Copies of this chain bind each other. A is one copy, B any other.
Amino acid sequence: MAVSMRDVAHRAGVSVGTVSNVLNRPSEVSADSVARVTRAIEELGYVRNDAARRLRAGVSATVGFVVLDGQNPFYNDVVRGAEDEASRHSIAVLHGNTDQDVRRERLYIDLFHEQQVRGLLIAPYGDVTAHLDRLAEAGIAVVLVDRFSGDGRYSSVSVDSVAGGRLAMEHLIETGRRRIAFVGGPFDLRQVNDRLAGARAAAENANVTVTLEVVATEGMAVEDGVVSGDRILMRTRGDWPDALFAANDLIALGLLQSLVTDGRARVPQDIAIIGFDDIPFAAAAAVPLSSVRQPSRMMGRTALRILLEEAADPESIPRQTVFPPELVVRASTVAR
């Protein structure tokens, strides 16, 4: 059915070995052969069979990326960065969405294992160390994204979430806020915990008195922010916090939407809001959102680069790359 190398070889009047050489190391083949083979390929519409190639080679030119939340633009940006870097190495990035579902997470890991990907990028949700260890045993490189590797067994690329939480909190305190609420969850997500921890630290180190309450959400979507915002506004006005620190921008956007509806609260005059991630939609919100930026593209690019290095050199030692977060001040915290 499909055109194979054998067909091309026959048409060009050479052996299959020569066809392979033309494709993979043309410099070692005479110009004449290259021309004839190239022409035969053209005429027959030959396309390499990746499966056969991989079977022989043992590894593929594909990298897997297991993502926590495909609906969050932050992760889309990270993926995008990885793709950019990958395409420079003629490598394809295959991605799978786990949607914070442990089962799907494991499913994708196994799938990528079967496909003998060159390496795996993963923004982990559940506890997958056992699965990752199996990959490692099979010689597949693993790089954690957006999560510091606690035991240092794997390389990781992340942002210092604790520092980020501190940045956000310090900003709120500096701009005069004293009754602050952290909105986020679930707390078994490492990122959420770290951001809260940073906020707590900043509150304690401040040389003024600051209260920091925690408003727990079920998830990290816009809807969760809306619900929390509504709940906060139901309090008597004197009990309102004067600032909200959302665990990510999606929640922050939900909060914003809730507060602004019908002018129930003025942002930032009555209540300031700051998010985390600095997704593109944060700047585009009608009250542009202050946020703690993670260098998402850069993180993706870096993760992929490290992954390829480790895939090339099995002896390499895992390293933790931590980027600093960056405070981005917009109208949602500072009135103009």
- Residues on A lying within 8 angstroms of B by beta carbon are 1-2, 45, 47-52, 54-55, 58, 60, 70-71, 73, 76, 79-80, 83, 87, 92, 94-97, 104, 107, 110-111, 113-116, 134, 137-139, 222, 226, 253-254, 256-257, 260, 280-281, 283-288
Contacts and interface: CB of A to CB of B under 8 A. Distances in A.
B47 A138 contact: yes
B281 A222 contact: yes
Contacts of A288: 257
Given A280-B222, A288-B257, A92 B97 contact: no
A124 B212 CA distance: 50
A284 B45 contact: no
B45 A49 contact: no
Residue of A1, A2, A107, A288 with most partner-chain B CB within 10 A: A2
Contact of A286 (B50, B138, B226, B260): B260
Nearest to A289: B286
The 3 closest A-B pairs by CB, nearest first: A286-B286, A51-B54, A51-B55
- Report which residue of A71, A115, A257 has the largest number of chain B beta carbons within 10 angstroms of its beta carbon: A115
Nearest to A94: B94
Given A76-B76, A111-B92, A50 B116 contact: yes
Question: How would you classify the secondary structure of chain A's contact residues: helix, strand, loop or mixed?
Answer: helix
Contacts of A51: 50-52, 54-55, 60, 115-116
B2 A138 contact: yes
Contacts of A257: 283-286, 288
A162 B54 CA distance: 46
A256 B80 CA distance: 26
Contact of A287 (B139, B281, B286): B286
A282 B334 CA distance: 24
Contact of A97 (B80, B114, B226, B287): B80
Contacts of A114: 47-50
A280 B73 CA distance: 11
Given A222-B281, A281-B281, A49 B116 contact: yes
B116 A45 contact: no
A79 B287 CA distance: 30
A283 B288 CA distance: 16
Contacts of A48: 114
Instruction: Give the one of A47, A52, A137 with max B CB within 10 A.
Output: A47
A79 B71 CA distance: 10
B87 A104 contact: yes
B95 A50 contact: no
Contacts of A137: 45
Given A45-B134, A114-B48, A114-B49, A71 B76 contact: yes
Nearest to A95: B95
Contacts of A285: 257, 285-286
Contacts of A113: 47
A149 B51 CA distance: 31
